[in-house]
Structure 1
């Protein structure tokens, strides 16, 4: 029988988490209507195990709220938890995968801000150790350990480990919904690209160096097929039109239910990072409009940034800028430069 505490937590995991509630020691585990078992592991961290687990059972980490003000994906995950708890017989979701649901920067979510001291999505792969007094450092370490423990029990078969980290962008974009794939040195997966196509992701950005994001960490440390999704604009809780994210929501549900979903009619366009703008000092100038959309193209010989003696001038016929942000702290990325590589990338998928 479902306890009142369990019902409240699973029925609205977001409200439960924002309120700072925690289950009593004897109420941290239970069973859903469909036989799936759930475990509350930490604030904002829930694990589900399907009624039947086999050798090749898929393990999926679904995270949102790594930036506290990116609310739409957080709301999507909260609804997902509710529907898993209800089970397919009650109009909910059948679960055939192991699932770890993570709401990332809970304190920033409560404060309706991106982060308190440091960008949580720049503190993974051990970088949190460099800022031990940061409010975000303990959370980065905890989320690393949560992923390691979850994937330690996962199948090692190809394609059995996934991490979908969902975000929303600060600014407009030439491609409203796009994905970023971490650099691991390994070929990119056709299954991931087809899933992104089903999710109606229109563009994919390929990193060419290792980073400190959550998806970089799980790809490298846990062997996961990992992606970061950018699903639209930052808005306050309750002001999101979640129908705009139906593609990603439905594709994630198909993944968790073990369904093939709808075959994509078109694959996403692909862009590869060729350089980045780094803010070296407070003298840094980003010579683009403050509201320039992501993926805006610039022609050869355009001066994009300067910082003391440093200049960034477009050297190819066309380069596009992604995540331009002159307000970051010195030493951090102030923008990425990408070029289109669709044909080559899609021909190399495995």
Structure 2
């Protein structure tokens, strides 16, 4: 197999499900699941995922560009890798998802929705991580990068979202995120159903969702915007030099979540509202029947505003910037 993406898009098993080069052995586990193991001993393990949302194509193109020279034997491999294309049916259809947002179903949440492609896929990906990261793995380093693009444009074209984590983030992991050209890092303070939260909570992986630009069809992505992220991933995979850090990312934390609970939900933001748009204290953000969402802090920034989510799901996050003076409204 020379092309992981094309093989996944065919929807079938590869004619030869495993093989090797001078540097590594590879094995096709399942649709969109490929393990690569270097022949030399390594301490680094990496889950490298994309297409959890099927219409987010730039990360898929980046992943394939990085994997192809490994599979062809042109490049050495410096980590044990599980490459994941998360939602192949949605990827083939060019849709975010077919039945349910896959990135809300991890951590067993797939059991709470009706049987569908995404529910079964969430279970399969959970099982894949359990096989890839077994217990008692010694002192191996576990990192997970889940590559996405955002529905909307953003004041920060490249940013990372880190799951709730009660352990300190490794310094080399945070340095890597800066070297990857991320302009901002967003730190969750509550658990969620994302792939990165699952890998962080259950396997103690240093995990991050990388948001690289805006969702566009195949062939319309300007991958030069993500050259630093591509180079930083190449450094992990091939042992090449990390990009120089020119500016540290700005740090934000989640202050509140806007949730849609009914068909009466109204988000008071236009379609043109960019991620990280700032709103002053007291601004009415959304309403859902008798419930109102207001800006509580002196200033809050919106992330992922989307009024069209299913009932019970997140319709937006409100952030505060670390180090920025905040003062909450009185209750």
- Structure 2-normalised TM-score? 0.94
Question: 1:7-26, aligned counterparts within 5 Å?
Answer: 9-10=1-2, 12-24=3-15
SS where residue 256 of structure 2 aligns? strand
Q: Name the CA distance, whole Å, in 2 between partners of 1:132 and 1:306.
A: 28
Structure 1 residues not aligned, in runs of 5+: 1-8, 345-350
Are 2:167 and 1:186 equivalent residues in the alignment? Answer: yes
Aligned equivalent of 2:237: 256
Equivalence map 1:1-350=2 (5 Å): 9-10=1-2, 12-24=3-15, 27-32=16-21, 34-54=22-42, 57-87=43-73, 92-152=74-134, 155-157=137-139, 160-341=141-322
Q: Post-superposition shift, 1:300?
A: 0.9
| Deviation readout 1:94-147 (Å, 9 max, x if unpaired) | 211101101010000011100010000001000001124122111110011111
More helix by share: 1
Q: Which consecutive segments of 4 or more residues in structure 1 shift more than 3 A?
A: 153-156
User: Could you give the per-residue CA deviations for residues 277-299 of structure 1, whole angstroms, max 9, x where no partner exists?
Assistant: 01111111111122200010001
Asked if the contact 2:79–2:237 (Cα under 8 Å) also holds between the matched residues in 1, the reply is yes
User: Contact between 2:178 and 2:247, CA under 8 Å: does it hold in 1?
Assistant: yes
Cα distance, 1:50 vs structure 2: 0.5
Question: Which whole-Å CA distance do the structure 2 matches of 1:184 and 1:341 have between them?
Answer: 17
* Contact kept in structure 2, 1:295 and 1:322, CA below 8 Å: yes
Q: Measure the CA separation in 1 of the matches of 2:288 and 2:18.
A: 54
Q: CA–CA distance in 2 between the matches of 1:79 and 1:176?
A: 21
TM-superposed CA distance for 1:259, in Å, is: 4.3
Partner secondary structure for residue 152 of structure 1 = coil
For residues 307 and 231 of structure 1, what CA distance do their matches in structure 2 show?
31
Between stretches 267-276 and 145-154, larger displacement belongs to 145-154
**Which runs of no fewer than 5 residues in structure 2 stay unpaired?**
326-331
CA contact 2:58–2:216 (8 Å) conserved in 1: yes
Structure 1 distance, partners of 2:135, 2:24, is 17
Spell out, residue by residue over 1:1-39, the C-alpha distance to the aligned partner (whole angstroms, 9 max, x if none): xxxxxxxx32x2211211123124xx221112x320101
Report if the CA contact (8 A) 2:180-2:243 is conserved. no
Supply the RMSD in Å over aligned alpha carbons.
Answer: 1.7
Q: Secondary structure at the match of 2:28?
A: strand
Name 2:328's counterpart in structure 1: none
Aligned equivalents of 1:193 and 1:343: distance in 2? Answer: 20
| Alpha-carbon contact 1:199-1:247 (below 8 Å) kept | yes
Distance 1:140 1:153 in 2: 20
- What's the offset of the Cα at 1:155? 4.3
